[in-house]
């Protein structure tokens, strides 16, 4: 009986260790992703198993799709006189107008060195969860986002954030 308990404990510890390692998945963007460049101003990576959605009707953004999940990039030109520091709150209001709920945002510096805002929430009408990296300037907002059904979103969020943090705006 003591041997059984020791063997069971060893297997339990190995299982826990394996599960902990699975939660911290590191992606090699150059190997596992494709580089996309928007003229010489913006670049980012998206996963190789996502395809450019050539049938997308809105020419203001670029979409990469796989099943029900999508990465979306858009540049939003700002020709207003809004104050740069107020843009995150204004953008949150725009997301609410678009039907998003449970919106949360925080500022973070991503590997390219730019200071972005990470927005998360859910589109109420579709139930799709989203995460967005938004870089605000006085002239434009650069938005790189991911949206998917909740289960897919929760399963992929660690990998998704690595791709979203590849956003680079060249000034």
How many structural domains does the chain have? 1
Reference 160, options 74, 50, 60; nearest CA is 50
Cα–Cα distance, 96 to 102 (Å, whole number): 9
Q: Specify if 63 maps to a domain.
A: yes
Please tell me the predicted confidence (pLDDT) of residue 107: 96
Measure Cα distances from 103 to 57, 65, 110, 118, 123 in Å.
26, 23, 20, 10, 10
Measure Cα distances from 162 to 17, 47, 55, 111, 136 in Å.
23, 10, 27, 9, 20
Please tell me the predicted confidence (pLDDT) of residue 1: 52
Q: pTM for this one?
A: 0.82
Q: How many CB atoms lie within 10 A of CB 56?
A: 15
Sign of the four-CA dihedral 72, 75, 81, 82: positive
Retrieve residue 78's tokens.
Answer: 């700002």
Label residue 20 exposed, middle or buried (CB < 10 Å: 0-12, 13-18, 19+). exposed
Domain residues for the domain of 147 are: 27-169
- Name the strand (E) or helix (H) holding 93: helix 87-97
The three-class DSSP label of residue 106 is: strand
Q: Specify if 86 maps to a domain.
A: yes
Weakly modelled stretches of the chain, pLDDT under 70: 1-24, 27, 56-59
Please tell me the predicted confidence (pLDDT) of residue 38: 86
Please tell me the predicted confidence (pLDDT) of residue 142: 95
Q: Specify if 43 maps to a domain.
A: yes
Q: Specify if 138 maps to a domain.
A: yes
Q: Specify if 33 maps to a domain.
A: yes
**For the chain, percent of residues with pLDDT exceeding 90:** 64
Q: Specify if 52 maps to a domain.
A: yes
């Amino acid at each position: 009986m003591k041997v059984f308990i020791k063997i069971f404990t060893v297997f339990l510890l190995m299982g826990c260790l394996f599960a902990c390692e699975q939660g911290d998945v590191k992606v090699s963007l150059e190997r596992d992703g494709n580089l996309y460049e928007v003229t010489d101003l913006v670049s980012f990576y998206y996963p190789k198993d996502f395809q450019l959605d050539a049938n997308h009707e809105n020419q203001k953004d670029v979409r990469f799709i796989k099943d029900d999940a999508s990465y979306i990039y858009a540049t939003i030109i700002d020709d207003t006189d809004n104050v740069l520091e107020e843009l995150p709150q204004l953008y949150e209001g725009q997301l609410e107008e678009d039907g998003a709920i449970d919106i949360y945002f925080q500022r973070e510096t991503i590997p390219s060195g730019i200071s972005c805002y990470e927005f998360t929430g859910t589109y109420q009408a579709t139930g799709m969860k989203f995460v967005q990296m938004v870089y605000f300037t006085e002239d434009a907002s650069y938005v790189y986002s991911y949206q998917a059904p909740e289960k897919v979103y929760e399963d992929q969020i660690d990998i998704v954030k690595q791709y979203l943090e590849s956003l680079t705006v060249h000034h």
